[in-house]
Amino acid sequence: QPSFVGNVAPLLPRPLPASVVDSRMSEKDHDVENQVSEEEQRYAQERNALCTRDAMDRALTNNDTSEYTAADLLREHVTRAKNIRAKLRKERQVRIERYKQRLALLLPPPPPPPSEP
């Protein structure tokens, strides 16, 4: 199919299927996950243990009928916000990767290096 039809702009190439981009992104995500420091992992484990312990204590003592404290609400809000931001960041990276590929197809190839006499 010709890229130019009459006097109109060229047709844009279709982006790669999402499954192809997802597989490439998962490889990059795996590399990024390996770079997380031990300190951050230890902090996350301690925080999760505290959250779980607090929730279990609350369930045992109050049967989950009491109101949440400000600290509980803040902790749950922050955790949820982090999860949402991570999901949005991943979706944004997938879109950026797809559009980079489209843009690479539209740009002319780089000029050859000048040859020396």
pLDDT tens digits, one per residue of 31-66? 555 555 566 666 677 766 666 666 666 655 655 556
> Which range marks the domain in which residue 39 is found?
18-25+34-105
Q: Which residues contact 18 (CB under 8 A, 6 or more apart)?
A: 94, 98
Question: Would 94 be classed as within a structural domain?
Answer: yes
Mean pLDDT, range 93-104, rounded to an integer:
91
- CB of 22 within 8 A of CB of 32? no
**pTM of the prediction?**
0.39
> Given this model, what pLDDT does residue 12 score?
64
In a domain, 72, yes or no: yes
Closest CA to 75 of 92, 53, 93: 53
99 assigned to some structural domain: yes
The reply to whether 11 falls in a domain is no
Residue 83 is assigned to a structural domain of this protein: yes
Split into its structural domains, the chain has a count of 1
Q: Per the domain annotation, does 1 fall within a domain?
A: no
Q: pLDDT band for 1, please (50, 70, 90 cuts).
A: very low
- What are the tens digits of pLDDT across the range 2-16? 555 566 666 666 666
Q: What is the pLDDT of residue 51?
A: 64
Residue 117 belongs to a domain: no
